[in-house]
Amino acid sequence: MINARLLFIENMSTAKEEIRKIGVDAVSIPWLSNKALFITMKIENVSTFAANIIKQEMLGKGGDVAVNRGVANFSISTSDILIMGTYSQYNKLIYKLEMQPGILKEIGEEIKRVLTGLDVGKPEYFECGKYKLPIGEKTYIMGILNVTPDSFYDGGKYNNIESAVKRAREMIENGADIIDVGGESTRPGHQPVEATEEINRVMPVIEVLAKEFNVPISVDTSKAIVAEKALKAGAHIVNDVWGLQKDAGMAEVVAKYGAGVVMMHNSDNCEYSDLMGDIIKFLRKSIEIAEKAGIRKENMVIDPGIGFGKNLDQNLEVMRRLKELSTLNLPVLLGTSRKSMIGNVLDLPVDERLEGTAATVTLGIAKGADFVRVHDVKEMARVVRMTDAMVRV
């Protein structure tokens, strides 16, 4: 019986493997795999002149380009464009564009940057201080330890050293790979905390954790002075909910100590011209800031910022489109634990959102998350192990 079925090929390694399994000559695999990988790429704010040329060039190579209807008659000045074609067709387009002057060459180089990322992928390791965590082998669990009186779920539970250390030990025994210590609530409507107060909250706990436990310690802060004190005390990662863009000194502090950094997207409002496009632009700026300060790719993780500057529909859209973050070629951290997105969908209070959290963790891993930040370590460790068994090869 003839049996036709669809294959979903999302990267070059999958393309090569499927072609190899057919039994073709080995020398043909690189040539055929370039045609097996179909890519749709969006480029924003392209001049009408450039859009017309790119469309004609791609049509001539067997691909296509979707443009605004006003491009054909030059009734608009710019347009977002969708390029659709195989890896091979893109390479031919890049060759032609890079031969041209000005904006066409610039667009060609941008397309080449994105395509190169498909081959290069994420760094092999996430490096944070003395720790070196392999990327791709498993999903890492970041246990949340809030030493605050007002965090939305566990505020006031662990705001003394004894209870905080006990909680950290429990999370590590249950499977936490990283402990994330926060001294200022970032819940909606939270009251800002002075740096001195934040330091007083996190420093004693971090000092003890760094001595007693052999796991990376993260400090959840957007203040450079707090980050530096924490790193001096033994922390290995800075988890910045403003992606190095709130405090101009943060990137230099991270670079100085060779720390890892989680750069999260954030916004003061929920207004976006293109949600994922704007998130990626924000994170690209964070990456540029990090690189200028001397932070290496191996020290970087990105976070789309679920629940930060996004309404319910936007949070759900980010979850659906999480794979688009692969454009940035960095490990991804996902923090959805017990958040209002889950409460709003299920109409449940914060203490009844365990199953909803599990659903988001599973989907997140399937869509490329490498780290998950959670309150319920024991339960989520089981979810992670099961999802990894299905998703990771």
- Quick one: pLDDT band at residue 192, thresholds 50, 70, 90? confident
Question: Mapping DSSP to helix (H, G, I), strand (E, B) and coil, where does residue 65 land?
Answer: strand
Ordered DSSP codes for 216-247: -EEEE-S-HHHHHHHHHTT--EEEETTTT-S-
What is the token pair recorded at 152?
Answer: 């939305």
- Quick one: pLDDT band at residue 280, thresholds 50, 70, 90? very high
The catalytically annotated residue of 201, 310, 367, 373 is 373
Quick check: is 339 catalytic? yes
Mean pLDDT of the chain, nearest integer: 93
Q: With 80 as the cut, is the pLDDT of residue 156 above it?
A: no
The span from the CA of 210 to the CA of 235, in Å, is 7
Give 299-353 pLDDT, tens digit per residue: 999 999 999 999 999 999 999 999 999 999 999 999 999 999 999 999 999 999 9
- Quick one: pLDDT band at residue 143, thresholds 50, 70, 90? very high
Among residues of the chain, what percentage have pLDDT more than 70? 96
CB-CB contact of 323 with 368 (8 Å): yes
Q: With 50 as the cut, is the pLDDT of residue 17 above it?
A: yes
Q: In this structure, is the dihedral angle defined by the CA atoms of residues 106, 295, 267 and 341, taken in order, positive or negative?
A: positive
The catalytically annotated residue of 122, 229, 338, 339 is 339
- Quick one: pLDDT band at residue 193, thresholds 50, 70, 90? confident
Q: With 80 as the cut, is the pLDDT of residue 189 above it?
A: no
Q: With 60 as the cut, is the pLDDT of residue 22 above it?
A: yes
Q: Is 169 exposed, middle or buried (0-12, 13-18, 19+ CB in 10 A)?
A: middle
Query: Cα 173–175–176 angle (5° rounding)?
Result: 100
Give 82-140 pLDDT, tens digit per residue: 999 999 999 999 999 999 989 999 999 999 999 988 888 899 999 999 999 999 999 99
pLDDT at position 188 is 63
Give 215-234 pLDDT, tens digit per residue: 999 999 999 999 999 999 99
The span from the CA of 388 to the CA of 292, in Å, is 35
pTM exceeds 0.85, yes or no: yes
Give 41-86 pLDDT, tens digit per residue: 999 999 999 999 999 999 999 999 999 999 999 999 999 999 999 9
pLDDT at position 11 is 84
- Quick one: pLDDT band at residue 190, thresholds 50, 70, 90? low
pLDDT at position 253 is 98
- Quick one: pLDDT band at residue 157, thresholds 50, 70, 90? low
pLDDT at position 163 is 86
Please give the sequence-ordered ranges of beta strands (E in DSSP) within 270-321, or none if there are none: 300-303
pLDDT at position 152 is 46
The span from the CA of 269 to the CA of 367, in Å, is 26
The span from the CA of 303 to the CA of 373, in Å, is 10
CA 61 vs. chain centroid, Å, equals: 33
pLDDT at position 153 is 45
Which amino acid is residue 202, in one-letter code?
V
Strands 38-47 and 371-374: unpaired
- Quick one: pLDDT band at residue 160, thresholds 50, 70, 90? confident
The span from the CA of 349 to the CA of 340, in Å, is 9
The span from the CA of 230 to the CA of 220, in Å, is 10
Quick check: is 69 catalytic? no
The span from the CA of 226 to the CA of 194, in Å, is 10
The span from the CA of 322 to the CA of 106, in Å, is 27
Q: Rounded to whole angstroms, what are the CA distances from 111 to 62, 83, 97, 104, 283?
A: 17, 10, 10, 11, 18
